[in-house]
Chain A
Amino acid sequence: MNIKTRTVNDVIILDVSGKITLGEGTQALRGEIRKLLDEGQKKLLLNMGEVSYVDSSGIGELVSAFTTTSNKGGSLKLLNLTKKLQELLSITKLLTVFDVHEDETKALASF
């Protein structure tokens, strides 16, 4: 998995690509989120458009990222879900938890 970050206004966009699966993928995501929160960032947008595979551990890591960010007074939102990821979140009722966007400009405006 690869994560590239960019900043638009005060929102950090994480362009995530590759697999978010048990082990390396979930650890990399966790590490990046913690680093940004430790730096005091509060508005995180995960761009998932180039994510090729997510397993249940990856879904769990997204949930952890969401709760960790919320507990620190921040906000984590999702952008460009793939069809498969949308289904994994939908059947576990997590689409009711996450704020999900398909358009980056609208996503940025929602913070």
Chain B
Amino acid sequence: MGISSNNIEVSLGSSFEYLDLLQSLTDSITSMMGFDTDTAYWIGMSVRESVINAMSHGNKLDISKKVDIRYEVSESQLAIQVDDQGNGFDPQSIADPLDPQNLLKPSGRGIFYMRSFMDEVLMCKRPEGGMQLRMMKRLAQK
């Protein structure tokens, strides 16, 4: 883990055993920034969902492939970037979980939840390979 100015960076092998550790880190950051309890909960869940996707769909749970997570902390917002080393995918190809024919599918809701709980979610293929997801949550004005 490295801290440079207001960025906190973590690089994890693709194993779900790190998820609780990451959850603790996210909870600490959102608490330090002053997010309310509910918002912090949803940010934590969004980070968890994004990293699960990166490890499983991106890196195919290859422990040697890294997921890099960067928290960008500012006074007004928290931005989180999640990079994997997989083959990438077309974000347009993601099925709508609200479509009646997808409603009873057991998977496919993670990105929908991220988009619901965060203010912005962007995904793109990285030029060097892999997928990059960036999401952002603004702090409520006090």
Contacts and interface: CB of A to CB of B under 8 A. Distances in A.
Interface stretch (A40-48, A52-60, A100-108): A52-60
B52 interface: yes
A55 B106 contact: no
Instruction: Give the residue among B19, B45, B109 with the most A Cβ atoms within 10 A.
Output: B109
Contacts of A1: none
A63 B45 contact: no
Interface residues of A, number: 20
B52 A93 contact: no
B48 interface: yes
A97 B110 contact: no
A37 interface: no
B142 interface: no
Contact of B16 (A23, A66, A93, A94): A23
A56 B49 contact: yes
State the majority secondary structure of interface residues on A: helix
Contacts of A63: 104-106
A91 B116 contact: yes
Interface of A: 21-23, 55-57, 59-61, 63-64, 66-67, 84, 88, 91-94, 97
30 contacts: A21-B19, A22-B19, A22-B52, A23-B16, A55-B48, A55-B49, A55-B52, A55-B110, A56-B110, A57-B52, A59-B109, A60-B106, A60-B107, A60-B109, A61-B106, A63-B104, A63-B105, A63-B106, A84-B41, A88-B113, A91-B112, A91-B116, A92-B103, A92-B109, A92-B112, A92-B113, A93-B98, A93-B103, A97-B103, A97-B104
